[in-house]
Structures are given as C-alpha cells and as structure tokens.
Amino acid sequence: MRRRILGQHFLIDQNVLEKMVDYAELSRSDVVLEVGAGNGVLTRKLAERAGKVIAVEIDERFAEDLKAISEAYPNVEVLFGDILRLRPSGFNKVVSNPPYSISSKLIEWLIEQLPELMILMLQREFASKLMAYPGSPKYVYTSLISSIYYEARILEIVPRSLFSPPPKVDSAMVLMRRRDAIPRLGSSCKLLWKKLFTRRRQVLRRVLADLSRDGLLPASLVKELPEALTSKRVFQLSPSELLDLSRLLGLSGQA
C-alpha cells in the first residue's frame, strides 16, 4: 500500500527498459541520475553502459536489492531519501521512471540542473503539458521553462499494463534534449513567471497591476509596457514574449 502512496509504479517490461537506455545514448563518460530506482532493474542496465549511475530511492524496503547492485557494479552510487531534499549533483544525463506524484517539482528542479539529455517515463497527461504550446489549455509554467531550455518530444506511449502496480493512466516516454543556446534567467524572473501562471487565464495587464499594487513590481515600469503585450492572457504569451516582459521590467539575468 505504501508504494502507491509514494506514487511509485515500477516499469517491468524489459523491452521498454532497454529502449529507455538506448535513447539515452550512454557512454562511459556519462554520469546518469535515476530517480525512483526501486529494485534496480533499470539501474543494472544503466550501470552496464554509463560511467557512473546515481540511483535515488525513497523506499528503504529496496535497500538490499540496491546494495547488491552497488556491490556488483562499483559505478553505482545509491542514495536513499527524497530527491527534492537530497538534490545530488554532478550528473549530465537523467534516465528515470520517477514517482508520478513529484513530476512537476522534479521537472522544475531537473531543468535548473541543465543535464544535456533526459529520458523520463511520465504520466501521459503530464507529458502532454511539457509539449504544450502558448494558447493551449495545457500550457502551464512547466511547459514554458521546458520549451526555453529543452527540445522535448514524446517517444512512445506506454500502456499501464507494463507497470507494477498498474497506474490508473497510461504513460509516455519523453526525451528532453538541452538546447544549444539558452538564456540566463535569475530567480526574480522565474518567480514572476510562477506568479503569472497561478493566474494563467487572466489578462496580463490585470495581473501585473495587482502585483505592482502589492509592491512586487515597480508601477512606473508596468504602466510603460506595450498594449500588444499586456492585452494578452497569461497562457497566450510565448516564451519570447515572457522574456521580453522580464527584460522590460528589469528582471532578466538577475540571480
């Protein structure tokens, strides 16, 4: 029962696991992060191709399984705990079937780390949000930052029957490849975007006015913003428009 509470649904199909590893284009120069290692079925496959695997698992019932793998494969480092608290570093790729319950926060954190390539097994609905375009009902903050930093696509739809225990929905294998040119965005810029997307269906002008009244933005700069920009609803704004907005408000590049 606890496994369901943790949101863990372990992929048991060997062919799909092999495909995940193949898509990752691994070599001995790669350090791979795996979130939700479980009993280590995917961990073993990663260890056979990568230089190092950082396997993270929150459920200590799998301690013996993962210990045995780390003894068999010296290039595997096992960490027990919440990935969002542990926050390991030093990896350049991610290959993972993470708990669905942390998908949004995990993706945000992973994007901040800027690994060059990620192969992730995600809920199909959440995966579609990563691919969503401005103006789409599914376009959310995660869609925005994903599109700024990564080229993402769904590789395969994976039926729920290939997991144990089976989830209530199908999954999607997602590839995220880091873009060659990425902007430098500071915390102030990202914080503004997060606030905007909590009111994503409202007109930008109204949201910015409220933020300026609360003292979170300079009212003088808000008043000078172009009407063509502020007349749009938040979810209609493209990444380039939001970058322009941050620049006009003096937030771009702030750490």
Nearest CA to 24 out of 6, 51, 63, 58 is that of 51
Q: Judge whether 74 lies within some domain.
A: yes
Q: Is 52 within 8 Å of 77 (Cβ atoms)?
A: yes
61 part of a folded domain: yes
CA distance 104 to 138: 13
| Residues 173 and 213 grouped into a single domain | no
CATH code: domain of residue 82 = 3.40.50.150
Please tell me the distance from the alpha carbon of residue 196 to that of residue 145, in angstroms, as a whole number.
13
In a domain, 155, yes or no: yes
Same domain, 106 and 14: yes
- Among the candidates 178, 197, 213, a domain finishes at 178
Residue 142 sits in the same domain as residue 223: no
Give pLDDT, residue 242: 95
55 plus 167 within the same structural domain: yes
CA 110 to centroid of chain Cα atoms: 5
For residues 58 and 119, state if they share a domain.
yes
Whether residue 253 is contained in a domain is answered as: no
CA 219-224-230 angle, 5° bins = 90
Q: Is residue 255 part of a domain?
A: no
Domain boundary residue, one of 127, 160, 178: 178
How many other C-beta atoms lie within 10 A of the C-beta of residue 137?
Answer: 10
d(CA 36, CA 28): 22
Per-residue pLDDT of the chain (255 residues; tens, 9 = 90+): 334 445 578 898 999 999 999 999 999 999 999 999 999 999 999 999 999 999 999 999 999 999 999 999 999 999 999 999 999 999 999 999 999 889 999 999 999 999 999 999 999 999 999 999 999 999 999 999 999 999 999 999 999 999 988 889 999 999 999 999 888 888 889 999 999 999 999 999 999 999 999 988 999 999 999 999 999 999 999 999 999 999 999 886 543
Q: Tell me whether residue 254 is in a domain.
A: no
Structural domain boundaries enclosing 99: 2-178
- Phi, then psi, of 154 in degrees rounded to 5: -85, 125
Are 44 and 163 in the same domain?
A: yes
- Degrees to nearest 5, angle at CA 172 with 201 and 42: 135
Residue 219, in any domain of the structure: yes
Residues 146, 237, single domain; the answer is no
- Overall domain count for the chain: 2
| DSSP state for residue 14 in the 8-state scheme | H
Q: d(Cα 67, Cα 51) in Å, to the nearest integer?
A: 18
Q: Domain boundary residue among 178, 199, 220?
A: 178
Residue 100 sits in the same domain as residue 138: yes
Together in a domain, 95 and 75: yes
Looking at the fold, whether 174 and 192 belong to one and the same domain comes out as: no
Residues 159, 195 within the same domain = no
Tokens of 147: 């599109």
Residue 37 belongs to a domain: yes
One domain for residues 23 and 89: yes
Identity of residue 50? A
| Residues 20 and 44: beta-carbon distance below 8 Å | no
